[in-house]
Structure 1
Amino acid sequence: MDEEGHVYPRAELHLPDGQRVQVQVTRCRPDRRGRFWYDYTLELPTRVDDRRYGPSPAVHLFEGSAPHPIIQPIEGEDYRAIHAPPPEERQRWRLAPAPQPAWSDFFVHRTDCAQAENAERLLTDLEALEMLADPAVGVPCPVCRPDTVLRTQ
């Protein structure tokens, strides 16, 4: 479980020297050739030195990524939550009330736009295009310009 409360499935990581360790898989995504890459975390024991109390055991969190078959699924684990949704279902845009309602009801922003702090919800590509189709309903943010990307959709 991470600091946000997500419980990630376990998988078996095959190390170059033949050892096998269990890791937590946090994400799965295909590359351009269709091979699946798994992002994972591995907790390793380490030591922390304190001047007053001396050495004490601690945990070092190692993060990495490896393709299948270097990472193998473990029977009984549920991997559905770590797969990215299909492109048409990805929510890549933010919808925020327009600062001056006379222009439009809403601004459509990119997810990383600093102007979208008061965003009400996330949108898919299709939803964003529908919002931008009627300028009385939604207009593109003049800072992050989502229309430049959506124009190719």
Structure 2
Amino acid sequence: MERPRDQAIDTRPRAEVSLPDGQRLQAAVTRRRRDRAGVWWYDLEIEIPDRDDDRRHGPTLTSRMITFSAPHPVVQPLPGEDYSSLNPAPPHERRRWRIYDAPRTSPADYYIHRDDCAQCLGDRLLSDAEALQALADPETAVPCPVCRPDTILRTA
């Protein structure tokens, strides 16, 4: 079957999944993580055929994405697949803070925001170390008064 031109090729790594009835299938891995016991859990996605009912034209064939999660050994990595892109960066390298211009009434040049702060319009990300360095000089940057990143950064 030929892929439509506008549909992107899926570059996510794949894994083999054993279903409860013994069938095996391959699924795209969207995320993997270890639980406290050290077992890998995989978040997976498969596309299955589905029926779409249209009152005027009758049923048509479509597809639907199913997402699910399962542990190893139900999910087996496939040889040759690269899962390293799914691993999060080490905590000291994660960029989870944003920096954006402070209002004119502020004594500092910038506000430091949490990554999900609705007050921040900027897209420049900072690591913990970079955010702490910026906050060290109150004339350069201050914490956002809404999302209060300093409450978390104190423990970083």
TM value normalised by structure 1: 0.90
Q: Percent identity?
A: 54
2:129 maps to: 126
- What is the match of residue 104 of structure 1? 108
Q: Take 2:142 and 2:10, find their aligned partners in 1: how far apart are those partners? A: 35
Pairing 1:94–2:88 present: no
In the alignment, the residues of structure 1 paired with residue 9 and residue 124 of structure 2 have an alpha-carbon distance, to the nearest angstrom, of 22
2:119 aligned counterpart, secondary structure: helix
Alignment pair present for 1:149 and 2:152: yes
Separation in 1, partners of 2:41, 2:80:
20
Q: Secondary structure at the match of 1:76?
A: coil
Shift of 1:49: 0.8
1:139 aligned to 2:116? no
Partner Cα separation in structure 1 for residue 51 and residue 93 of structure 2: 44
Note the 1:1-153 alignment, pairs <5 A: 7-100=11-104, 102-117=106-121, 119-153=122-156
Q: Specify every segment of 5 or more residues in structure 1 that has no aligned partner in the other structure, as ranges.
A: none
Q: Tell me the secondary structure at the aligned position of residue 116 of structure 1.
A: coil
For residues 116 and 4 of structure 1, do their structure 2 counterparts lie closer, same or farther at Cα, with a shift above 3 Å needed? farther
Unaligned runs of 5+ in 2: 1-6
Give the drift of 1:109: 0.4
Q: CA deviation at 1:78?
A: 1.5
How far did residue 115 of structure 1 move? Answer: 0.6
Displacement after TM superposition at 1:121 (Å) = 0.8
Where 1:46 maps in the other structure, the secondary structure is strand
For the 8 Å contact 1:97–1:120, the answer to whether it is kept is: no
The residue matched to 1:115 in structure 2 has which SS?
coil
Give the length in aligned residue pairs: 150
- Compared with structure 1, are the counterparts of its residues 90 and 49 closer, same or farther at alpha carbon in structure 2 (3 Å cutoff)? same
SS at match of 1:23: strand
